Amino acid sequence: MTQLPIGPEIDPTPRPLPVRARMRGQYCELEPLHVRHTAELWDAMQGAPDSWAYMGYGPFTSEAALRSFIADFAATHDPIAWAIRPVSTGVATGWITLMDIQPKNAAIELGNIWFGPALQRTRAATEAMVMLLRLAADDLGYRRLVWKCNALNAPSRRAAERLGFTYEGTLRGHMVVKGRKRDTAYFAILDDEWPACRDRMLAWLAPSNFAPDGTALNGMAAL
């Protein structure tokens, strides 16, 4: 046997693929994305051109164009997309995916996240992300949870850090998106880090963490 450092042994069993299924939390429902969500999502997009600045697609010029995109996007196996329906409104106002799914490496990415203005900075938005992270880590046993974004996307970087992802570095000139060079910042949560991150997320989402006006009493980092 070699005496060179080669890393610890781990369980090499491939992890299961996520199932495209409905999930319900305290503050939102995740529904497999479908063309039936088009009208609600089209309404949610109005007046929000900046929300597409760092996305690889959009904005959409018409409801018909959005419907065509969703028909294709909802049929892919990687990424797997869910529409986000906050319980408080009952209206689908965003979507979220699990992507770059690597069962043999037990690695999976939370990405392709689009939140309409009404969904941004809400408990439903945070819970949607937590629900998919728990599906990947707790239910399916993925060891590496990945978040990556345009290195210029400050809100996405803040969201990753808030959830407990660790910045790993930036791939320079990594992609061409909408005709522009993109540097990509990588973040991850590993399996030994996940329990503490999950517990902070759940403590932040607890109803007891919110004042009557809906203000969080404690930030996630403080829990």
Please tell me the pTM assigned to this model. 0.96
Q: What is the pLDDT of residue 221?
A: 77
Report yes or no on 120 lying in a domain.
yes
Q: What is the pLDDT of residue 222?
A: 72
Range of the domain at 201: 23-222
SS3 for 80? strand
Q: Taking residues 14-23, report their average pLDDT.
A: 97
Angstrom distance (rounded) from CA 3 to CA 17: 36
On the question of pLDDT at 32 being above 80, the answer is: yes
Q: Taking residues 15-20, report their average pLDDT.
A: 97
Report yes or no on 16 lying in a domain.
no
Q: Taking residues 62-70, report their average pLDDT.
A: 98
Report yes or no on 8 lying in a domain.
no
Report yes or no on 118 lying in a domain.
yes
Report yes or no on 2 lying in a domain.
no
- 86-116 per-position pLDDT tens digit: 999 999 999 999 999 999 999 999 999 999 9
Structure tokens at 192: 């030994």
Report yes or no on 13 lying in a domain.
no
Torsions phi, psi for 186 (to 5 deg): -110, 140
Q: Taking residues 23-29, report their average pLDDT.
A: 98
Report yes or no on 7 lying in a domain.
no
Query: Any idea how long the chain is?
Result: 223
Q: What is the DSSP string of 92-128?
A: --EEEEEEEEEGGGTEEEEEEEEE-TTTTTSHHHHHH
What angle in degrees, to the nearest 10, is found between the helix axes of 38-45 and 63-73? Answer: 120
Angstrom distance (rounded) from CA 142 to CA 160: 18
Q: Taking residues 77-89, report their average pLDDT.
A: 97
Q: What is the pLDDT of residue 1?
A: 75
Number of domains in the chain: 1
Q: What is the pLDDT of residue 127?
A: 98
Q: Taking residues 51-68, report their average pLDDT.
A: 97
CATH number at residue 140: 3.40.630.30
User: What's the chain's average pLDDT?
Assistant: 97
Report yes or no on 30 lying in a domain.
yes
Q: Which residues contact 77 (CB under 8 A, 6 or more apart)?
A: 17
